[in-house]
Every structure is written in structure tokens, then in C-alpha cells.
Amino acid sequence: MAGVVVCHGSAVVRERLVVTSIGVPALGPVRAASSVDELLSLARRMPPTVVLLDAHLAAPGAIEAIRRLRAVAPAAAIVLLALPDDTVALDRALALGARGFLAPDVGRAELSAVAAHVLASPVLPAQTAPRSQPVDVPSQGSFRAGDLRTPAAGVPALGAPDANGAPVGVPTTGAIPGVPLTKREIEVLTGMSHGRSNAQIGAELYLSEDTVKTHARRLFRKLGANDRAQAVAIGLRRGLIQ
């Protein structure tokens, strides 16, 4: 294993993440970079298995770092270090193949869980979308394989007709037209329908609570829902959940 590279512009955050990563045996060895150039230099010498990447790196920035890293270490699993309100950065990074995101203050237990699932699943191909529209990536916040391939148990495949003849997962009134729910968003919606909190849903899906919140905001927007209750009602009515 070529281990993990922690790439963050803040020396304080970088050092803390290095210490946290060292406590996760599956991530060793641990290397650190403070810039895109330093990250690429490390990757050329020894391609990393996992990269923890600062969403707010100095120019040329995290998005360009992902593009260049893909050419140097295409098999590296990139996890963005960002907050859930960094939606533009997250959407663009995930469209280029990033596996999900973590808060910069991630703890050792959560990092261990994420590492286990990142290392157990292959890197998925980068997704593309028109530049003028929000990017929707099925693997957002996902650390398990198969999110683009297999519908959740008991959930109709996306695009299949529902009881009313409408494609499953395609929003209707008050929603963003033509944008389906991802498998992960359906799983989050299912958790909501069971009355689970964001933290409980995250524990079941091996996601951070912030990642669950991001999925929730995106599925609310797609369904045209204002809150959990309305989202669950729309989901049940349209056959997205049971």
C-alpha cells in the first residue's frame, strides 16, 4: 500500500490530520503536502491509495489538483476536506471523481470507517455534466462500491416507470426537472421515512452527519420539498420509498 497523502493549506490542520491518519493502520504510511505542486510531486514518486484534499487550496486550487492527480495517480481515492455548505466546490470535485467529503476536524473513528470503505471499493469513473447546470454525482459522500450500478434493495431502479407511468426518481411538480435521485439520496430518504436522525442515518450508511445533511438538501431541492415530512410524502407517493 502507498498510503495516504494529507494535502491541506493550513499547517495546523495538516499536522492534526497527519496525526489522526497515523492512528489508522490501514492508511499508513502517511505523507503530507501543503500545495498542489507538492502533492503531485509526492504522487509521482509513489502513487497514494487515498488523498485527503483541502477544498480551499491556494491556486491552482483543489479542482485543478484533482484533474492533475488523475493523470499521475488515477487509482487514488480522493476525499475532499470541506464543509457541507461548500456546495459548488463539492459538486465540481465529485464530478471529477472525488469519493466524498469529510469535515477538516474529522476524528479517528470516522476516518477509520471511511478508510475501510474507500479501500474496499474501486475508484468510480469521473462523472460529467453540462457546465451551466448543477452537477449531480451518484457517488457523492459514498464510500461503498456499486452506487452507480445497483438500486437499493426494495427500491425500483431509477428511470423505471412507477404505478402512474412516470419514471422513478424523476422529479415532477415543484422539483428540478429531469434530475433523478441518486441511490444514496434514496437511502437517506428511506432513513428519514423510518424516523431516523441524520446522525443515525450516517451511522447506518457509514457517512458523516454533514454528508447526510448535504444529501438531504440535494434531495429536497430535486423533489421540491421544504422539509423531511414533505420529502417523505413525495417519496412515498411516487414509489421512491416503501
What is the reported pLDDT for 84?
65
pLDDT, mean of residues 163-185: 54
Question: Given a cut of 60, is residue 132 above it in pLDDT?
Answer: no
Question: Given a cut of 60, is residue 52 above it in pLDDT?
Answer: yes
Tell me the per-residue pLDDT of 189-214, one tens digit each, with 9 for 90 and over.
998 888 888 999 999 898 888 899 99
What contacts 150, CB < 8 A, 6 or more positions away? 183
Name the residue ranges covered by the structural domains of the chain: 4-120, 150-242
Residue 163: exposure state from Cβ atoms within 10 A (0-12, 13-18, ≥19):
exposed
Which has more pLDDT, 222 or 139?
222
What is the reported pLDDT for 4?
95
pLDDT cut 70: percent of the chain above it: 73
Reported confidence tier of residue 34, pLDDT bands at 50, 70, 90: very high
- At 77, the amino acid letter reads A
Question: Given a cut of 90, is residue 137 above it in pLDDT?
Answer: no
Question: Given a cut of 90, is residue 49 above it in pLDDT?
Answer: yes
Plot region of 33 (φ>0 → left; ψ -120 to 50 → alpha; else → beta): beta
CA distances from 179 to 4, 54, 130, 168 (A): 34, 28, 13, 11
The pTM score is: 0.54
pLDDT, mean of residues 54-64: 92
Which letter, b or e, does each residue of 17-26 get, where b requires 16 or more Cβ atoms within 10 Å of its Cβ?
bbebbeebeb
- With respect to CATH, is domain 150-242 assigned 1.10.10.10? yes
Any idea which residue has 476536506 for its cell?
81
Plot region of 154 (φ>0 → left; ψ -120 to 50 → alpha; else → beta): left
* Cell numbers given for 135: 452537477
Question: Given a cut of 90, is residue 123 above it in pLDDT?
Answer: no
Looking at domain 4-120, its CATH superfamily turns out to be Response regulator (3.40.50.2300)
